[in-house]
Structure 1
């Protein structure tokens, strides 16, 4: 039976590490399944397994969502282009999962309108193709888009211009508005891992797998826990490491038979004032007939949009898998497409000097056999997932999309149950209580009656029902209600909470994933680093040398990324008028 005894388990590294040690030394029962990799797929797999009552462990060599799952386009969507490619089933499944995520993680998943401009020339859609697009959008709505509560609609030129006032109005003949959703991918992954812990899973970051050894009744997995070698027994192993899948196996095992073909996706962030879109906009890339998203993102404390991110590229990648670089070609590709979409006679071109942040991630696409026409591009590869069982019995979950992580996890745990000799009857899948279909994620709650941009809404959109835990820190120490850095809504209390309740152990964890400051504004993140380090030092008992090393490491990483990629100094800070709330203090 699924686990029904659910409490908000303290999400603490020391307690989780102690449970792994107890298992290694025989003071606790072996695990039924150990999941390697705490991206969204691994976290979802651990949650599904724990919910079914399996004794479950989830380990991650770095931080939760430190790979692909924090560097996506942050879309929770069906994928309109998959429908255009004829993959109706994938779109249907994704739209169904989108609705479940909107219900189960209300604080993290937002409805996001998308505008497809119709142009007289040089657009994603011309007037001649508008009728065909309208038909495709009706199919999208009928396939499952209607679940969001709104159907697409056609706009005239003025209505489209109201949403995208910086585009070339002379070429704009109208547009279509349809609805999908977006989410903070890193915080969504964290919430799934927290929910797995609430259902009894042992969850630990900064816990690298050093060896997997097959034995008669399962596996011995050797872990590195803060420099200590610990070997834990488990009956099954799931490899959910994404593009790193072929690095996991026993000494005599073969890598997964399915081929993972990494595709690099690059995004740039620029100040909102330069683009001024109030919905996501799809723009064309003239050089290769692809398209990019312009997505308004983030809020200043006065409630206005702070940034727009633009992406994503989609290119083959065969370099080092950790921290794939953003190249000058990537930047030129994105900025050229953006400037082609702007009316540069009325507004100035966006240049490299305007870029406030960049990020690059690798999508683990599952390659398929090709015909005599040659290799497909990464855009042609399947976003479906595949499950591979190696000769040694390691179960690998490969490919897939962020939106369909829950379904991927469910399919994976079905295989785990079979390997454990506990296959579930088909009719049990009809009992939704046994599944994670309606399982609310940690923090999921109704929105507060507070305006966007307010501190109350900011905290709810990150912590949901656990907002009171952050406010309790401020009630105990009023200085924690101060902003972490001028011009942005993040509070000092969020750093302390990240350490105490979200397993943050480095500045990178806090500034890149618990907050998204590094993805909004690299300069602001560097400014915040000393303050955040002071707060973390008090929580983690860092001495001055450790505190300084954390700051130096973060700065070195940030400078290397920026200078090596863009070959120039960092961008300017936000306009001064956006810093009007920098001294505001939140009180309980």
Structure 2
């Protein structure tokens, strides 16, 4: 993907479909449309998956909570979500096996009745999944559960083991956009839509702005598809100010703790909290993610951040399930995201449906893909492009169910050994390259020979190569420090102190590729470090703030 070439094409060509928003649904729709033969443009006001799609719980699932609600309330809509999610779980992993994999989850219980209740539910969960490659769940006694996760409280009666999927959400969305680009789509990040030009009321041209240069970008398209998630109403009202708002944003946050919190490759599902939510504690590289919360969020002009009461809530939620509960001093990072819940008559965000809807406005001809979740992104995209084909008068079948994403086809994790032998790189580096780039890992390994410094690690404690930054700029459209550190890598999500420490190194590598001046590089470093400091301050983590200032 080359941003400058994409901007040139956007200014010169007329496309069939211009997709606004490059998260999971937008990037998925771009790939689906490009594979069907449509001329496609994919743009985003920020980075690819810069918002909600990179701030998920990293799970691919049918939804255990949805299944419970479906049974209790005889709610067929929620049961349909579970069935679709479990069917798509297999496809998400198949199409990008380097970025997604099965994950074992333990649910500790405190009585035989509770264990039986959850076992029955999860057995039904497995039955709905039908025949797939996921192992089947089972009920473990206390000794078996502690063998799986030694840090669990000895007060538990037993635990129920089941399986769902885990993905690297930001890189998965990037792989979708990259695959769409290779299928012919024009992809550009940091292009904001500020308005539309119309003919007889129907949208004909998007008036955009290049956020890096301030220059105008006009994009002509036969149809515009709005895939901006929680920000969908902004585009809907730009297209037709008479439309009613449809999105009720909900904020969810996660905290990041040391791997020793669980001492396990299994995740933990906490099935019932004081306010009726579900919380997960999930291995995430060498850390543990704990989340999420679920609260109304109104100010979409501000990035959702971790706040002190949310840190307390998540730590308190963990307390009954662990022998030793972490405290605030153990929190190493955190992040917030916004769910795009569709407005309904339901009274609170915990019960709003996350299923999706494809909406067509006949006045402006804007098509909007509303709601949804990561697991079913492909079905959402397929539904949207099916409708787009009807509106364009030239339908074609979807082929995304069996389409490997970049790096996924012929992927074998054990090929890391060949990389290590051929390029003389450490084992941890080669394993990381395979998990991050799949079959494109060798392209990064080759760059490590271009200059001696490219073969060096960004930090001794990390498996990240300097060559990766170069690859990310040249081939993955990374143009800011945060593009690299928060999304191409997930370091910002995992360790704020370490992220601050490696920022100058990353800035130096990006400067060499993007032609940054010394003053521009220093300004970028200062700005990004200031942002990290603000995250720590707003989360109310004094110990981490002290460490960050020393770094």
Q: Same fold (TM over 0.5)?
A: yes
8 Å Cα contact 1:562-1:569 kept in structure 2: no
**Residues 48-59 of structure 1 mapped to structure 2, 5 A cutoff:** 48-59=32-43
Task: Give the Cα–Cα distance (whole angstroms) in 2 for the partners of residues 561 and 404 of structure 1.
Answer: 31
Q: Which has the higher mean CA deviation after the structures are superposed, 388-397 or 534-543?
A: 388-397
8 Å Cα contact 2:81-2:355 kept in structure 1: yes
Q: Which runs of 5+ in 1 are unaligned?
A: 1-10, 24-29, 121-126, 299-305, 575-588
Match of 1:78 in 2: 62
What secondary structure sits across from 1:295 in the alignment? strand
Is 1:156 the counterpart of 2:155? The answer is no
For residues 274-318 of structure 1, give each alpha carbon's deviation from its aligned partner in whole angstroms, at most 9, with x where no partner exists. 3323201112564223231111111xxxxxxx2111001111111
Is 1:17 the counterpart of 2:4? The answer is no
Match of 1:264 in 2: 251
Match of 1:397 in 2: 369
What secondary structure sits across from 2:123 in the alignment? helix
What secondary structure sits across from 2:46 in the alignment? coil
Task: Give the Cα–Cα distance (whole angstroms) in 1 for the partners of residues 385 and 145 of structure 2.
Answer: 45
What secondary structure sits across from 2:365 in the alignment? coil
Task: Give the Cα–Cα distance (whole angstroms) in 2 for the partners of residues 43 and 448 of structure 1.
Answer: 25
What secondary structure sits across from 1:223 in the alignment? strand
Is 1:409 the counterpart of 2:381? The answer is yes
Is 1:443 the counterpart of 2:427? The answer is no
The alpha-carbon distance between structure 1 residues 131 and 342, as it changes in their structure 2 partners (threshold 3 A), is closer
8 Å Cα contact 1:115-1:280 kept in structure 2: yes
**Residues 208-247 of structure 1 mapped to structure 2, 5 A cutoff:** 208-216=192-200, 218-225=203-210, 226-247=213-234
Match of 1:108 in 2: 99
Task: Give the Cα–Cα distance (whole angstroms) in 2 for the partners of residues 280 and 242 of structure 1.
Answer: 28
Match of 1:302 in 2: none
Task: Give the Cα–Cα distance (whole angstroms) in 1 for the partners of residues 143 and 192 of structure 2.
Answer: 55
8 Å Cα contact 2:206-2:218 kept in structure 1: yes
The alpha-carbon distance between structure 1 residues 232 and 274, as it changes in their structure 2 partners (threshold 3 A), is closer
Match of 1:419 in 2: 391
Match of 2:22 in 1: 38
Task: Give the Cα–Cα distance (whole angstroms) in 2 for the partners of residues 185 and 340 of structure 1.
Answer: 29
Task: Give the Cα–Cα distance (whole angstroms) in 1 for the partners of residues 295 and 31 of structure 2.
Answer: 32
Match of 1:315 in 2: 295
Residue 383 (structure 1) aligned to one of 320, 335, 354: 354
Task: Give the Cα–Cα distance (whole angstroms) in 2 for the partners of residues 544 and 478 of structure 1.
Answer: 22
The alpha-carbon distance between structure 1 residues 287 and 506, as it changes in their structure 2 partners (threshold 3 A), is same
What secondary structure sits across from 2:471 in the alignment? helix
Task: Give the Cα–Cα distance (whole angstroms) in 1 for the partners of residues 320 and 107 of structure 2.
Answer: 15
Task: Give the Cα–Cα distance (whole angstroms) in 2 for the partners of residues 69 and 557 of structure 1.
Answer: 20
Is 1:60 the counterpart of 2:44? The answer is yes
**Root mean square deviation of aligned Cα:** 2.0
Count residues with an aligned counterpart. 527
The alpha-carbon distance between structure 1 residues 141 and 249, as it changes in their structure 2 partners (threshold 3 A), is closer
- TM-score, normalising length: structure 1: 0.86
Q: Which runs of 5+ in 2 are unaligned?
A: 71-77, 418-425
Task: Give the Cα–Cα distance (whole angstroms) in 2 for the partners of residues 188 and 509 of structure 1.
Answer: 14
Name the structure with the higher helix share: 2
Task: Give the Cα–Cα distance (whole angstroms) in 1 for the partners of residues 151 and 115 of structure 2.
Answer: 22
What secondary structure sits across from 1:330 in the alignment? helix
8 Å Cα contact 1:145-1:151 kept in structure 2: no
8 Å Cα contact 2:28-2:177 kept in structure 1: yes
Is 1:174 the counterpart of 2:158? The answer is yes
The alpha-carbon distance between structure 1 residues 164 and 363, as it changes in their structure 2 partners (threshold 3 A), is same
**Residues 343-354 of structure 1 mapped to structure 2, 5 A cutoff:** 343=323, 347=324, 349-354=325-330
Task: Give the Cα–Cα distance (whole angstroms) in 2 for the partners of residues 164 and 267 of structure 1.
Answer: 21
Is 1:360 the counterpart of 2:341? The answer is no
Match of 1:287 in 2: 274
1:475 to partner: Cα distance: 1.8
Structure 1 residue ranges, 4+ long, deviating more than 3 angstroms after superposition: 249-252, 254-258, 450-453, 571-574
